[in-house]
Amino acid sequence: MAERPTRVRIIPRGPILVDGPVEVTGADGQTARSSRVVTALCACRRSALYPLCDTSHRRCRKVES
């Protein structure tokens, strides 16, 4: 049985969602691990938990009329 590819979803004005447990290594060499079924990675760089998302992008959205 073939393995399913890892699914990655880019959310407009939101995080990058990665299915399955992940290990992310930053440019500084530090590693962040998550064993969640879906892990949200920060795309706005405002997260206090960077590279993981803490929903900081929600406070920076413009109100659309």
Reading the chain (65 residues) residue by residue, the pLDDT tens digits are 668 889 999 999 889 999 999 999 988 999 999 999 999 999 988 888 889 899 887 776 554 54
pTM of the model: 0.76
Q: Which residues contact 9 (CB under 8 A, 6 or more apart)?
A: 16, 17
- Identify the bridge partners of residue 58 per DSSP, sorted by sequence position: none
